[in-house]
Amino acid sequence: MTHDRLGALQEKAAARWLVSRTTHPRDAWEEWAYGRPAMLRMGAHLEALRLPAGLVHRVAGGEEPGVVREALRRGGVGRGVIVGVHGRSYYVLVPPGTSRTWDDGRIACAGPGDYLGVPAVERDAPPGSYWLLPPPEGPGELCSAAAVVALVAAS
């Protein structure tokens, strides 16, 4: 682990907020310092909707990251989108409690007791999982589930 990399990560508001949501912050910092995703527990502070890549690409009209990014933003999803390690899924960070009422069978919701591999906040390209849209810096920047529902309704 490089001390410089860890120090740079700790200066980022999004990294500090995400790590403050976990019960083992030291583990998250260490994973990120080594370039690996940190396993964050969903439920108490945030949850995640897993959208299949095919669904997202249909909505976006393409699979290029810039095309997908723009389509998500137009649809009201402005932050907190992770592309999964193999590019087969997109994870949208949403407020806690979303899983209690979620009922769209095409999209899974990671809630209490589930874990999500979250890349370091500066990771914005493959290989591995990365942030397609910037990570949230606080709870007010989590995406609304309603925006995701509206976005995929056209597919």
pLDDT digits (tens, 9 = 90+) for 32-62: 988 899 999 999 899 999 999 999 999 999 9
pLDDT of 1 reads 46
How far is it, in rounded angstroms, from Cα 80 to Cα 93?
Answer: 5
pTM of the model: 0.93
Residue 4 pLDDT: 62
